[in-house]
Amino acid sequence: MTDDAPKIPLFTERVRRELYEQRVLVLDGALDDDNGTLLATSMLSLAAEDPASDIALWIHSPGGSVPSMLAIRDVMRLVPCEVSTLAIGMAASAGQFLLSAGTPGKRRALPHARILMHQGSAGIAGSAVELEMQADDLRQMRDTVLGLIADDTGQPFERLFEDSLHDRWYTAQQALDYGFIDAIVDSFGDIVPAGRSRLGFAAEEGALR
């Protein structure tokens, strides 16, 4: 690569810190145990620091860990703050689950975001008894997740079950109609963290010097 080649900006820790200071958390990429724990504990920390102001969770993710997404949802319900959610680009599987788990009225998507719902899958192996036990556990987990999505969207469990049997992609408008989100973003003011400066991170940083 030559020195003249265009530089691709990285989502650096500095950017994450600046967003955190604005009470914005970001799930970018697959959800795993590490970033799931970080998101959950960061949400708890922000709530302890200021239990009245909103927390924003911005999502661009292909999905990931079911235990992590359930843990984050539990924290979203536990903290006294309202948690707004925003789909940026893609909110698939666990991303869709967290998107629709936001505070009602504060779940949004960018106009060309795509949302994917499905039941997920997991490889199982072992003896016949072990396979049966694992299958029972997977069914219980599936029903738990679909039940929570039913609570968040207002859709009947039976419809969710049928619609999630195969990968089903939704446009932002379709996600709005289905109940995954409450609005499609059409202005910058829709996504600026409530109660925070609207002058931008650079202005805030300059004021601290």
Catalytic residue IDs? 93, 118
Alpha carbon 77 to its chain centroid, in Å, reads 14
Sign of CA dihedral 70, 74, 75, 81: positive
- CA dist 93 and 110 (Å) reads 17
CB-side neighbour CA atoms (13 Å) of 105: 2
Is residue 91 within 8 Å of 113, Cβ to Cβ? Answer: yes
- CA dist 118 and 162 (Å) reads 10
Return the structure tokens found at 124: 């199982």
